[in-house]
Structure 1
């Protein structure tokens, strides 16, 4: 049994996870953090060494002793509370944000306590916890009364989902979290979550957390369709099919009747809308909309729905204008589909992330500018006295805003002979100089901020894609448009058949509709994935072929750049072989010859010498030892710091050597006495050069000055008492 199988056996069972108390952790963490942080501190200040050892470390050790798997989730729940408090109470927003940051730091440090057991670590991050688990019944009833009797108090979330919803980007970017996220994305870790808001739930066979092994899994494993890595590839192919049908639909449009390509596009469009709606219902709208591309997908879904409604209305009433309008609305979707497919492969690239942030900042700035200039729009419409329509003035202002300044001077007097030129000149100056300069500065700062935190933002988006890829809904195992067929068959069947029958029917439909995909995945994971037989044998064959080539061909720069240099293989081979350290290098090697920086005696030394009481460490002035042949003497002339100061652990008393000799000696017990005497003499010579007399003189002078100042103060006090009669009362 290998290590992975042993780890799988140690995985927490669903029954054990259901008994973990979650609610008691939340008020305890809230109380401790509220009593700990009372001032606004930044991330760097909270991570400083003094704050870490005096504040954070005691709290971490306190809660780590509980060994509660839900502690990380509880920290992120408390973080969400303090983030909400920072928005509600602006007077203490800085303090609340500091407390929220402390919650993120505690979550990172507490997560590291579970890193020794990989399966347990995955359970901490992926298990969906209910915040009221372990709460008293009166607390549950009180929560229901606050939220309403119809509220769902068992709405569970995982720690990863809470980290995404609370924007805990540093927690997600930590190496421990990324290890779990990478394993989930690649499919190495297999687990299933209980669907709560699913369109079609199949909970007959819940699966615990395991390490995926191709030797134990079936060849056509339908659960592999839910692996985020394969899901991303399949999503790209489905999106490409949707784009192709979209283009063919518009290229063969007919306002009088449905064409075959329009029918196919409507089927793919309906399947795409069902998939996006299921994704938003699975994890909630907050997790779904956190990915910027989901916002674009939602926009295309809205455009498609508008097209279908207007198109059906036009065909029903024979209105060709309505059908033409429907195609015009659908054509606007190309502005979303084409860049969506182009940026699909680089969705988490720094340039794309910067572009996303710039679009958000641009829309916000343009909204503020439109609100500000709405007053000018109303003024110009009032001054025109009916000669200008409101839409015409708005379009004129948009043209001026985007650089057509000539229109502002040409049409100024048409509004008013006096106020028209003044208002239009001011508007042109503001829009083309001041506001555009501010907009460029905002966008530049946004790009710089994204570049500074590019790694965190990239890993944050990667975590969102991974969490979205682990779908518990049965519809996600079907590729569009087969998800429409599965929904039409399985949804009504779930109302009448047993869970076992529904599960069997679901598995049959998945393997029937996705047989080629499952076949490709099975062959890849067993023969072509990293570590498999064919891939390793092909690498060995390529390496053998490369080694058999003449030296002249190997050293060709282009060929070496394509194949790779062999120097790294040489370095790897050196470290792969087992050789004793320093064989033949030091004849009389002694660990005492090497200076050590230790505060206490090492555990190994205490274990090797039983019965010896450990003494506290001392700071010793290590004398220079006798140099060997060919070795440079460590002695230097004393110039402010000529003595080599080292911190070493106390030695165990052995034999009848004097304490002074044991204190300074670094040689074995059989060292010559003359060498020890010589070292003592050299040390005494160095000590004589210390400025001890000068220090005594300065201390004596300071004492005399202090005595004079005290005498002067005493004299002044006596004079004030004799002159001021009020002091005698």
Structure 2
């Protein structure tokens, strides 16, 4: 949706102290109208480039303060955070000048969203950050979607917060306004609405945190109030599923051990990533076993297991793509590696089958050579959990940005190579063919690169150094952005019955044919039963881990309490002279007296006044001492 031009303020709008027209947002405001009002205020308020730090300080931040106060005091729209982050994405997409004004407006969106969150309670934080933008034509919100069905988050099937009747009355972006315009105006308005809704369709079904990842709102995601929610999702203190039943719905809430189904712990991102690492480790073992054994003429049991692992991983990745949608899926750094593993794995499987069927030794050898390439993607993917460590998590975005600039730089080398190849091919016509000249040029190009490394390599190092410095200047934001995407990618699924690979192939082979003759509720119930049977060992492992972790926390708490009691006991046993200095005696001794002055000191004060002051000091100290003793106890 293009940024809307400024229009006169609507009736009932409010003015800020700076003269800007504050938005007038109702709780049921359509998303397009919400975006329009916020966009108008930000466009009017920010007309010069500013950095994020400037906008968050008092020197420039006063521009945003009226909007923050208005949203905090009067706005209760559930999509307000999502709207601000969508505007961040729109301003970034609309950056066409070199002044950086749109970038500043994007920073303003992040700051307003962050300051708004700072005034919320924990329950409100969960509601605003994890509320998903509803769609129009899908089923009820949170209803489990069969992974074999179309549940793409970017399309209307699989996302909705209202029932079917409400969906018929109200659209996502128009809110069910009556068609009171003339027919021609209605047609124009409908066309305009469709043009505005089309870019926003990719955000349907995403919550505010996922929209922040898509919008590259790294400053917003790095704030402590946001990271607290991300950490709670990672550790399972915030869950999206509380029970396993046919009518369960996805809704973020605080985990309650007394009410939640133990099998819902399978959806905790920390456990999902742990079992994923185990899956990749076994994947790597099978990979090495097949290549080391290397039997081109035979098809063994281990190779069959490798086929199962590749198929299960591909099916699981397809389900993740459907759950996350293309926009959010592309933000995950490891998605490219997963696609590489799947592509090479299927190329190996196809060529291997062709070689065995045709009894062609050459094709079989080529298949095993293709499988050898799998290590390029598989080994780094096994170590993907290292990205949770800040040191490695910071290096990943550095390598990502440096690779982009390196690929751009290679364009210059390719252009020079093609120029020389064309020239020498024309000069050598009749003596060398084009293929022969190509091989000659490859050798010459190597010599050219070696001889010209002072120019090319120095330029490349300078470019990459600038990229590295730019990323390292925002190392914390970059790491927390990667960490947030890592966590949200594991919690994005809308499937109630999530099977870990390679067990995910069982429902695919067992229940997909039954969809023809059985209703969806019976299939869903059967999937729940199958999940509890097949994933019981996982639940036992999770239960043991949480029990040991709970005992460890109790032991640490007891150890800290014992240290406090020992400290309190030592404090009580200490002599009073060591616990509190005798202020009275020390004060009286330090005040010189003048002989024959009628009880006055050399400073002109009566001894009785000084004694009264010292008594009040002693009383205050005694009161403070009692409070300290109570706190120590």
Indicate which of 461, 486, 503 corresponds to 1:465: 486
Contact 1:475 1:487 survives alignment (8 Å): no
Indicate which of 36, 39, 42 corresponds to 2:45: 36
Offset at residue 111 of structure 1 (A): 1.9
Where does structure 1 lack aligned partners over 5 or more consecutive residues? 1-17, 194-200, 409-426, 548-565, 575-581, 588-626, 632-670, 673-729
Structure 1 residues 108 and 152: alpha-carbon distance in aligned structure 2, compared to 1, 3 A threshold? closer
1:366 aligns with 2:374: no
- 2:230 aligned residue: 181
Contact 1:22 1:74 survives alignment (8 Å): yes
Matches within 5 A, 1:636-675: none
Contact 1:245 1:264 survives alignment (8 Å): yes
SS at match of 1:482: coil
Offset at residue 376 of structure 1 (A): 2.0
Structure 1 residues 60 and 538: alpha-carbon distance in aligned structure 2, compared to 1, 3 A threshold? closer
- 1:63 aligned residue: 71
Q: Could you tell me how far apart the structure 2 residues matched to 1:107 and 1:309 are?
A: 50
- 1:213 aligned residue: 256
Offset at residue 377 of structure 1 (A): 2.2
After TM superposition, what 4+ stretches of structure 1 lie above 6 angstroms from structure 2? 151-154, 540-544, 566-569, 571-574, 582-587, 627-631
Matches within 5 A, 1:391-470: 391=435, 393-395=437-439, 397-398=441-442, 405=447, 429=451, 431-470=452-491
Indicate which of 191, 202, 206 corresponds to 2:240: 191
SS at match of 1:67: coil
Query: Per-residue displacement from partner, 1:162-202 (whole Å, max 9, x unpaired)?
Result: 10011100100000100000000100011259xxxxxxx99
Structure 1 residues 83 and 152: alpha-carbon distance in aligned structure 2, compared to 1, 3 A threshold? closer
SS at match of 1:474: coil
Query: Per-residue displacement from partner, 1:656-710 (whole Å, max 9, x unpaired)?
Result: xxxxxxxxxxxxxxx99xxxxxxxxxxxxxxxxxxxxxxxxxxxxxxxxxxxxxx
Bigger drift between 100-109 and 267-276 goes to 100-109
Contact 2:348 2:367 survives alignment (8 Å): yes
Offset at residue 66 of structure 1 (A): 1.2
1:380 aligns with 2:424: yes
SS at match of 1:518: helix
Offset at residue 49 of structure 1 (A): 1.1
1:72 aligns with 2:99: no
Indicate which of 97, 102, 107 corresponds to 2:103: 97
1:513 aligns with 2:534: yes
Contact 1:202 1:499 survives alignment (8 Å): no
Q: Could you tell me how far apart the structure 2 residues matched to 1:111 and 1:209 are?
A: 17
- 1:51 aligned residue: 60
Indicate which of 497, 509, 518 corresponds to 1:488: 509
Contact 1:161 1:467 survives alignment (8 Å): yes
Q: TM-score, normalised by structure 1?
A: 0.63
1:288 aligns with 2:329: yes
Offset at residue 141 of structure 1 (A): 4.0
Q: Could you tell me how far apart the structure 2 residues matched to 1:469 and 1:346 are?
A: 14
Q: Could you tell me how far apart the structure 1 residues matched to 2:250 and 2:493 are?
A: 11
Contact 2:126 2:253 survives alignment (8 Å): no
Indicate which of 356, 369, 379 corresponds to 1:338: 379
Structure 1 residues 121 and 147: alpha-carbon distance in aligned structure 2, compared to 1, 3 A threshold? closer
SS at match of 2:94: helix
Offset at residue 292 of structure 1 (A): 1.9
Indicate which of 545, 552, 565 corresponds to 1:535: 552
Indicate which of 128, 140, 151 corresponds to 1:124: 128
Offset at residue 48 of structure 1 (A): 3.2
- CA RMSD in angstroms, aligned pairs only: 3.9
Q: Could you tell me how far apart the structure 1 residues matched to 2:398 and 2:197 are?
A: 42
Structure 1 residues 446 and 287: alpha-carbon distance in aligned structure 2, compared to 1, 3 A threshold? same
- 2:344 aligned residue: 303
Q: Could you tell me how far apart the structure 2 residues matched to 1:203 and 1:300 are?
A: 35
Larger radius of gyration: 1
Q: Could you tell me how far apart the structure 1 residues matched to 2:400 and 2:519 are?
A: 47
Q: Could you tell me how far apart the structure 2 residues matched to 1:364 and 1:586 are?
A: 76
Offset at residue 460 of structure 1 (A): 0.5
Offset at residue 203 of structure 1 (A): 7.0
Offset at residue 388 of structure 1 (A): 4.2
Q: Could you tell me how far apart the structure 1 residues matched to 2:58 and 2:590 are?
A: 43
Contact 1:222 1:477 survives alignment (8 Å): no
Offset at residue 280 of structure 1 (A): 1.7
Offset at residue 537 of structure 1 (A): 5.6
Q: Could you tell me how far apart the structure 2 residues matched to 1:629 and 1:393 are?
A: 104
SS at match of 2:257: coil
Q: Could you tell me how far apart the structure 2 residues matched to 1:571 and 1:394 are?
A: 84
SS at match of 2:327: helix
Contact 1:256 1:320 survives alignment (8 Å): yes
Query: Per-residue displacement from partner, 1:94-121 (whole Å, max 9, x unpaired)?
Result: 222222221122111122222xx21220
Contact 1:163 1:169 survives alignment (8 Å): yes
Bigger drift between 432-441 and 313-322 goes to 313-322
SS at match of 1:136: coil
Offset at residue 481 of structure 1 (A): 1.3
How many residue pairs were aligned? 511
Q: Could you tell me how far apart the structure 1 residues matched to 2:570 and 2:410 are?
A: 61
SS at match of 1:91: coil
Query: Per-residue displacement from partner, 1:510-531 (whole Å, max 9, x unpaired)?
Result: 1111111101212332x222xx
- 1:83 aligned residue: 92
Structure 1 residues 235 and 585: alpha-carbon distance in aligned structure 2, compared to 1, 3 A threshold? farther
- 1:235 aligned residue: 276
Q: Could you tell me how far apart the structure 2 residues matched to 1:316 and 1:46 are?
A: 67
Offset at residue 391 of structure 1 (A): 4.8
Q: TM-score, normalised by structure 2?
A: 0.72
SS at match of 1:24: helix
Bigger drift between 233-242 and 75-84 goes to 75-84
